[in-house]
Chain A
Amino acid sequence: AQSVTQPDIHITVSEGASLELRCNYSYGATPYLFWYVQSPGQGLQLLLKYFSGDTLVQGIKGFEAEFKRSQSSFNLRKPSVHWSDAAEYFCAVGALYNQGGKLIFGQGTELSVKP
């Protein structure tokens, strides 16, 4: 079965430090991959997505992610974290054989930012 694993439930980084959030997926074909952010009291917002082509994808708010097929990973990175980046981050994969576009989500990684 398709699945998404985010190994880190909670990460704390200092403001200005670099960030990497891990995501591993299990999928039988070329995956469609997404990162969403959920801020307190708000809905999920799409940060970036990967469908094909260049394996390094740029997103909003200075985030980027790299697709590595050999490692079944799609890790999210940011060179310098801001206090406003504190939120919960979800990695998701588009369902096999494009089942209407439903998404399969990981359990999320909560990011805290120290001043």
Chain B
Amino acid sequence: GAGVSQSPSNKVTEKGKDVELRCDPISGHTALYWYRQRLGQGLEFLIYFQGNSAPDKSGLPSDRFSAERTGESVSTLTIQRTQQEDSAVYLCASSTRAGSTDTQYFGPGTRLTVL
């Protein structure tokens, strides 16, 4: 079956614009995670979903960031009024359940560049 897919693969935007990043998890995976990878750094956790609810949003950097998930499938990460420091690769992962023993499968990421 297909793996985790993300779109777009690259996004260039101007400072102050809103952007939406999309993640399609592996079919049947109830848990979905968003991470951010800044240049030369490791991944930072942003938010995770169990089904359509988000029990942990602690990693969202500011109220400009939001995410939703519908139908226990697709998730969208929205960044409003983008800033240059938002430039990063945004990675999505899914797993069968939201637990530390469940392997997370990662998508290829969306590279966001804010000019």
Residues on A facing B (Cβ under 8 Å): 4, 6, 32, 36, 41-46, 49, 51, 90, 92, 94-95, 98-108
* Known contacts A43-B108, A44-B91; is-contact A99 B56 (Cβ 8 Å): yes
Q: Are A103 and B45 in contact (CB under 8 A)?
A: yes
Q: Which bucket holds chain B's interface residue count?
A: 20 to 34
List the B side residues contacting A49 at CB < 8 Å. 103
List the B side residues contacting A6 at CB < 8 Å. 42
Complex CA distance for A51 and B99, rounded to whole angstroms = 12
Complex CA distance for A103 and B44, rounded to whole angstroms = 8
> Would you give the 0/1 interface string for B33-57, flagging 1 where the beta carbon is closer than 8 Å to chain A?
1010000111111001010000110
List the A side residues contacting B41 at CB < 8 Å. 107-108
List the B side residues contacting A98 at CB < 8 Å. 99-100
Q: Are B104 and A43 in contact (CB under 8 A)?
A: no
Q: Are A51 and B98 in contact (CB under 8 A)?
A: no
Complex CA distance for A43 and B106, rounded to whole angstroms = 6
